[in-house]
Amino acid sequence: MKLRTLTKLAAATLVLAAPASLYAADAEEGKPAKTMPETPSDVAAAPADALTTESGLKHKLLTEGKGKTKPTATDTVTVHYSGWTTDGKLFDSSVERGEPTSFPLSGVIKGWTEGLQLMVEGEKRRFWIPADLAYGENPGGGRPGGLLVFDVELISIKEAPKPPEGTEKSEKGVAYKVTKKGEGSDKPGADDVVTFHMTAKSMEGQTLQDTRSAPTPPSVPLNGPGLPPELAEALGDMVAGEQRTCWLPEPRVPGGFVVAELELISFKKAPPAPPVPEDVGAVPADAVKTDSGLASKVIKAAEGEKPKATDTVSVHYTGWTLDGKMFDSSVTRGEPTQFPLNQVIKGWTEGVQLMNVGEKRRFWIPADLAYGENPQGGAPGGMLVFDIELLEIVR
């Protein structure tokens, strides 16, 4: 469900995946010829002379490099590599494709992020990467599981861009520049709700998020779960009307920083959180179930119009997990939320169509109608409980 709570700013973590060219029958004209790398004789287990880091990563120098600088986690590296499972099966290789690969070092499996920082340009090293530093024991998506073995040659290092000179630093070390002064001297308190605009970009200028494309700016409790700590610190240090650019550390984004252009529009005291429902832990006997498994019961009846899936609605809502933990609420932000009803989770699309304008209803939404059992990106998993008040149908 797309609500106005701001979640993590990170872009999707990159993984090592074989491009389609890996499966081409012949090299394209003008491209380097493909070479099948030789399977290492010690692929099944690391030899006695391999070194081991505190994380459990094992490695062995194959060819000394000529460079003097090692990459950092935020740098972009160009490498040649080949990867095997412990039974000697080659599952990916830039050597076979005849072309090296470049990627931000922070955007790959943990074993690569750690291991490449041990190397200098021109060096070749073999790594035995345990499952917890690779893709796990039983990953999905066709990725190999368990201990993986890689031969990696570090060809070049491109240093990540850094915040410009002349920036100020916050107490937590976040670089920023004030681009427009605000009015007054009052700043948001920890319990306040802040309303703001943000354009978030990578260091290369790629737009990651722009709240100005939404109908209204986000309003979020400053100390709530919707804001990363660095962003909350920045907003908490601003006055109304102020604009500033902040370089927020985010290792999963190319360049290692999110460049956030912030404008604090206003702030106000947060209303108290709604009480946790007594029946939050399980669907009660008096709830009504639909064929999909959605359960609900009316808390406040009304006789207004019912919306259609294509309508935009205005609602107040609060959401809890089954253990009573509140994870999102328009009530604590002090203002309702609008959204197209066909662009939220299935349980909302179905459930709100059962309601009349003015009605308040409690829903028990099973995982397959919400975010799933184990969702990514900080969304809550499993069955969720929502109190929803339908305020208006906005055509």
Q: Which residues are part of the catalytic machinery?
A: 317, 327-328, 345, 371, 386
Half-sphere exposure of 283 (CA within 13 A, CB side): 15
Collect all residues with Cβ–Cβ distance below 8 Å to 36 and sequence separation of at least 6: 90, 96
CB within 8 Å of 73: residues ≥ 6 apart: 105, 106, 113, 117, 251, 256
How far is CA 23 from each of CA 34, 97, 112, 142, 146, rounded to the nearest angstrom? Answer: 11, 9, 24, 15, 24
Which residue is it, tokens 């700590």?
A: 229
Distance CA 139, CA 112 (A): 17
List the structure tokens of 368. 């397959």
Backbone angles phi, psi at 75, to 5 degrees: -80, 160
Of the candidates 50, 76, 72, 71, the one whose C-alpha atom is nearest the C-alpha of residue 62 is 50
- For residues 305 and 310, give the distance between their C-alpha atoms in angstroms, rounded to a whole number: 14
